[in-house]
Amino acid sequence: MHKLLLSTLLLSIVVISSCSSQQASTLNESDVETFLERVELEDKTLGPVASSAYWIGSNFITYDSQKVVADYGKRFQLLALERARQAATFDKVLVSEENRRKLNLIKNSFVMPSPLDDALAGEIAGISAELDAMYGAGQHCFGEGDCYDLEAFEAVIDNSRDPDELLKAWEGWRNIGKPMKDMYLRMVEIGNLGAKDLGYDGLTDLWFSQYDMPADDFLAETDRVWDELKPLYDALHCHVRNELSEHYGEAVVSKKGSMPAHVLGNMWGQSWANIYDLVYTPDNPTADTNIDLTKILEEKDIGEIEMVEIAENFFLSLGFEPLPKTFWERSLFIKPQDHNVVCHASAWDLDSDANDLRVKMCIERNAEDFSTIHHELGHIFYYQAYSQQPSIFQGGANDGFHEAVGDLLTLSITPDYYHKIGMITEAEAINAKSDPISLLMQQALDGVVSVPWTLMLDKWRAGVFSGETSEAELNNSWWELREYYQGIKAPRERDADAFDPGAKYHIPGNTPYTRYYLAKILQYQFHESLCNQIGFEGPLHECSIYNNELAGEQLRAMLSLGQSQEWQVALEALTGTRTLSGKSMLNYYKPLKDWLDLQNASRSCGWEG
């Protein structure tokens, strides 16, 4: 079977290559149709097998599994590159709007391309597989028998209040990045050659030309929205910095300037939800308005699989079809004890024709993972909604839409939702809503805090891709951008050979991060629009679309488009506007912003960077 697939793949490349040599002047739409039909056939026959190879590579990290992943990565890279070249030969052929979009998507479907060269394709695929394995199997030992992997380090960062212990864990995990640097730079070097070979100025141009508008216009839009939201983030930063300084003392956290990254309750400082108890005290502490979901999950003995079933039920309440039996049989929900896996949560569409949908996640029974599994099922039900589209259109309207749909569901995890699913009593829900600042603070410490983080990652990569950031400045540039956008700094001077970006999965894993920035904005636009459509009249943060079939109908109508239309069309279908906007997020958090402004009235806010 393996040899047959290889022969089929190589034959496809030969056939496409022969078509590429045909003079453009003799091509017509019939040739385009033939080409697109072949692409569709290849996706249906070769795609599921390759997906299974990648699934094995993530769930069984061994020497052999990485060889298989690298092999498939190389062959599909070559096939995709040849497809892009064939699609480019049709640039001047008069074709239907649908076929033109398909051709453009084929040309823009790359993240880290190699040139059309067997050796370079093999090299970049091998580097990618090795980096992925290094992250998944990463651990650091302080001495014999004193070793920690990511989960162990995170347990410290998420829960400890000892600054020395926090610093040890924070620095420990960043040691895994050091050996990645040279491989990462080599991968970028090959990727830039591949991007230029495809007609782009380089990887930066390639990455930001995939949003149905000129790259410069798109980047200007992202900056415009950040300017709208920055006052909200600045107010939150000022308050959190003051409260952390009160707790740890000015020697650890100064009341002026940037905050040290190790005391923020998250390995990357991208969420501050775990330090909620340090930054907010209710006006009436005896009222106990906080919902401790982690404690509730433990008390009710709700297991990992049941958490997934609860998340599925949310979508069923909106009128979505149940997940197939194979989802429950083939997904990874609990971390195995006998082999290494990539625990980073992810959703997989291995074969749309067979409805082979899966989640890979090392679920822990806590509030964070309860929210995360709702998010991952957002991806799964998006896959399900557009499964009837041609394979080329099976994707989010843009890459941010997929993340936004998952995040949208988390905004509906309200006290009333907890009550409806039996997690808390009606009295407890009413009590929780009596302190809206508590609820909004908990959400803002993740939803607002993560916005500049999601923006700066690809700002850093853009500098690396373009060569503006030299090898010697890789790490310094990372921290300069973090200070500029987030007001966060390294807790101590970093070693000359440090490569702290490698400690974040999406850097060695080559996952574009602008999608998460778009998701943070879009989820609030989606949420506000759906809440208005179902006639909700209360505060926006109390709205939940759970068990509302009208909201489900509106959502499915957008999801079913896949990427068959420009993302602005999909946005307009759900919200009535084609423009990205931060106003919905500002509306959601207005009560919190007003409260923060009162708290910060006599404080020194802002930071230099």
- Angle among Cα 329, 331, 335 to the nearest 5 degrees reads 120
CB 68 within 8 A of CB 125: no
Q: Is 375 flagged in the annotation as binding?
A: yes
Integer Cα distance of 203 and 193 in angstroms:
9
Model confidence at 117, pLDDT cuts 50, 70, 90, reads confident
Which run of H or of E encompasses 351? strand 346-351
269: left (phi over 0), alpha (psi -120 to 50) or beta: left
In this structure, of 18-27, 99-108, 207-216, 295-304, the range with the lowest mean pLDDT score is 18-27
Residue type at position 473: E
Confidence (pLDDT) at 60? 82
Integer Cα distance of 125 and 21 in angstroms:
27
Integer Cα distance of 96 and 107 in angstroms:
17
Q: Does the structure show a pLDDT above 60 at 589?
A: yes
CB atoms within 10 A of CB 145: 6
Confidence (pLDDT) at 1? 38
CB atoms within 10 A of CB 43: 17
Integer Cα distance of 5 and 434 in angstroms:
61
Confidence (pLDDT) at 542? 95
Q: What is the mean pLDDT of the chain?
A: 90
Confidence (pLDDT) at 24? 53
pLDDT, average across residues 464-493 = 96
Would you kindly state where each structural domain of the chain is located, as residue ranges?
2-135+183-211
Q: Is 135 flagged in the annotation as binding?
A: no
Task: Give percent of the chain with pLDDT exceeding 90.
Answer: 68
Q: What is the pLDDT of residues 330-350, one digit of tens each?
A: 999 988 887 888 788 889 999
Q: What is the pLDDT of residues 10-33, one digit of tens each?
A: 333 333 344 444 555 588 889 999
Q: What is the pLDDT of residues 549-587, one digit of tens each?
A: 999 999 999 999 999 999 999 999 999 999 999 999 999
Integer Cα distance of 24 and 121 in angstroms:
27
Integer Cα distance of 117 and 191 in angstroms:
12
Assigned token pair, 511:
């996952």
Place of tokens 């740890």: 248
CB atoms within 10 A of CB 549: 12
* Reduced DSSP (H G I as helix, E B as strand, rest coil) percent helix, strand, coil of the chain, to 5: 65, 5, 30
Confidence (pLDDT) at 69? 83
Place of tokens 């805090």: 449
Integer Cα distance of 592 and 35 in angstroms:
54
Residue type at position 581: S
Instruction: Report which of residues 383 and 144 the model is more confident about.
Output: 383
pLDDT, average across residues 118-129 = 90
Q: Is 78 exposed, middle or buried (0-12, 13-18, 19+ CB in 10 A)?
A: buried
Q: Is 496 exposed, middle or buried (0-12, 13-18, 19+ CB in 10 A)?
A: exposed
CB atoms within 10 A of CB 482: 24
Nearest by Cα to 372 from 431, 413, 419: 413
Q: Is 211 flagged in the annotation as binding?
A: yes
- Spatial neighbors of 296 by CB under 8 A, at least 6 apart, are 302, 423, 424
Nearest by Cα to 351 from 55, 560, 47: 47
For the annotated catalytic residues, the residue numbers are 376, 506
Q: Is 403 flagged in the annotation as binding?
A: yes
Q: Does the structure show a pLDDT above 80 at 298?
A: yes
pTM for this model (two decimals) = 0.86
Q: What is the pLDDT of residues 388-439, one digit of tens each?
A: 999 999 999 999 999 899 889 889 999 999 999 999 999 999 988 889 999 8
Which run of H or of E encompasses 143? none
Nearest by Cα to 9 from 66, 106, 75, 77: 75
Q: Is 494 flagged in the annotation as binding?
A: no
Sign of CA dihedral 498, 499, 502, 503: positive
CB atoms within 10 A of CB 375: 21
Assigned token pair, 522:
């879009």
Task: Give percent of the chain with pLDDT exceeding 70.
Answer: 95
Integer Cα distance of 288 and 334 in angstroms:
32
Residue type at position 522: L
Confidence (pLDDT) at 579? 94
Q: Does the structure show a pLDDT above 80 at 6?
A: no
Q: What is the pLDDT of residues 252-261, one digit of tens each?
A: 999 999 999 9
pLDDT, average across residues 53-58 = 84
